[in-house]
Amino acid sequence: MALDGYTDQTMSRQAMKAELLDAETELRLAYAWRDHRDERALHRLITAYMRLAISMAAKFRRYGAPMNDLIQEASLGLMKAADKFDPDRGVRFSTYAVWWIKASIQDYVMRNWSMVRTGSTSSQKSLFFNLRRVQAKFEREAAQRGEALDSHQLRQMVAAEVGVPLADVEMMEGRLSGSDFSLNAAQSSDEEGREWIEALEDEGVQASEIVEGAHDVARLRDWLINAMRSLNGRERFIVTERKLREQPRTLEALGEELGLSKERVRQLEAAAFAKMRRNLENQSREVHHFLA
């Protein structure tokens, strides 16, 4: 049932004009839909009980959702109830539909209460919709006894009453204490006040770290260039082919090209690295930081 373009007052007036079904008519319509998929019977059944859906939707207005949206969700729950209703069980359709309507509305409210998922289990859902009522009951009873409950005692009593862990009660209190706020909201009423997002710490690399890193890389590059210059032509060739290529060459391949054995190429490579290390150590003691 599309509700776009309707106000909740219009839908309420139309629902109040719908027929009231007696048990026999209701049963006949339910059989017609279940056994023959008679859409006219389904439409008549849904229309007759839209007043029930609207009445239940109105009970959830205090959660801040638009009434039109609540009615839309209630009507979806009503249609699910009609689709799953079994007339052979001997239960009135209105009694069965109440559960589906309520479940549909509650799911919508919890999905839209906060960008952070509020809860998904049945116990968390029960806590979401009953926390304030249960708290008020315990506070009222304590006041009648002349007692005062501190917040921790109250949370413990609520947890025991609803059957959830104490941590869930504490979490739900925090979720219900206020709605979401935009990080783009100004911190003050001044036009030039900065936004809250500007107060968040930047987890990325800081400019000072980038500059320091670039300076260190440039210095290390100069050291390595000078160290390479200390090698003879063959040593420089071996180091380049073994360590500076995207795909390093093997000792065998270099040995074939240079007319040397694999072991001799390995010895030349080790000698070249030793020569480079001595050169680097002579340039600066700071090189140990980079070679560690």
Two structure tokens written together for 217: 């890389």
Taking residues 72-92, what's their average pLDDT?
A: 92
pLDDT category at 201 given cuts 50, 70, 90 is low
Q: Tell the residue number behind the tokens 């609520």, with chain if given.
A: 158
Output the pLDDT for position 16: 76
Do 136 and 84 fall into the same domain?
no
CATH number, domain with residue 235: 1.10.10.10
Is there a domain that residue 50 lies in?
yes
Look at residue 191 and tell me whether its pLDDT is greater than 70: no
pLDDT over 60 at 1, yes or no: no
For position 186, what pLDDT does the model report?
61
pLDDT at 174: 66
Task: Examine the domain organization and report whether 108 and 40 are in the same domain.
Answer: yes
d(CA 153, CA 165): 14
The answer to whether residues 13 and 67 belong to one domain is yes
Residues 238 and 144 in one domain: no
pLDDT tier, 92 (very low <50, low <70, confident <90, very high otherwise): very high
User: Based on the domain organization, do 257 and 221 belong to the same domain?
Assistant: yes
- Compute the Cα dihedral for 15, 17, 22, 27 and give only its sign: negative
Residue 255 within a domain? yes
Banded pLDDT at 115 (limits 50, 70, 90): very low
Same domain, 135 and 46: no
Is residue 213 located within the same domain as residue 264?
Answer: yes
- The average confidence (pLDDT) of the chain is 79
Classify residue 61: in a domain, yes or no.
yes
65 is written with which tokens? 């959702």
Co-location of 55 and 95 in the same domain: yes
**Same domain, yes or no, for 35 and 99?**
yes
Distance (Å, rounded) from C-alpha 67 to C-alpha 4?
Answer: 12
In a domain, 1, yes or no: no
**Within a domain: 202:** no
- Token pair 């260039």 is at which residue? 225
Query: Is residue 2 included in any domain, yes or no?
Result: no
Asked if residue 3 lies in contact with residue 68, where contact means CB atoms within 8 angstroms, the answer is yes
Whole domain around residue 32: which residue ranges?
Answer: 8-113
Q: What is the DSSP string of the chain?
A: ---TT--HHHHHHHHHTSPPPPHHHHHHHHHHHHHH--HHHHHHHHHHTHHHHHHHHHTTGGG---HHHHHHHHHHHHHHHHHH--GGG---HHHHHHHHHHHHHHHHHHHHH-SS----SHHHHHHHHHHHHHHHHHHHHHHHTT----HHHHHHHHHHHHT--HHHHHHHHHHHT-----TTSBSSSSTTPPBGGGGSPP-S--HHHHHHHHHHHHHHHHHHHHHHHTS-HHHHHHHHHHHSSSSPPPHHHHHHHHT--HHHHHHHHHHHHHHHHHHHHHH-TTHHHHH-
Instruction: Give first-to-last CA distance, the chain, whole Å.
Output: 71
Residue 273, Cβ density class (10 Å: 0-12 exposed, 13-18 middle, ≥19 buried): middle
pLDDT at 197: 53
Instruction: Indicate which CATH number applies to the domain containing 25.
Output: 1.20.120.1810
Please report, as a single letter, which amino acid is at residue 170. E
Q: Is the pLDDT of residue 144 over 80?
A: yes
Asked whether residue 171 is domain-assigned, the answer is yes
Region 247-253: what's the mean pLDDT? 89
Mean per-residue pLDDT for 211-238?
Answer: 83
pLDDT at 205: 59
Residue 209's CB is within 10 A of a number of other CB atoms, namely 10
* Torsion angle defined by CA atoms of residues 281, 285, 289 and 292, in that order, rounded to the nearest 10 degrees: 40
Q: Do 127 and 148 fall into the same domain?
A: yes
| 21 and 96 inside one domain | yes
pLDDT for position 180: 47
Per residue in 19-58, pLDDT tens?
A: 888 999 999 999 999 999 999 999 999 999 999 999 999 8
- Total tally of structural domains belonging to the chain: 3
pTM (two decimals): 0.47
195 belongs to a structural domain: no
One domain for residues 26 and 102:
yes
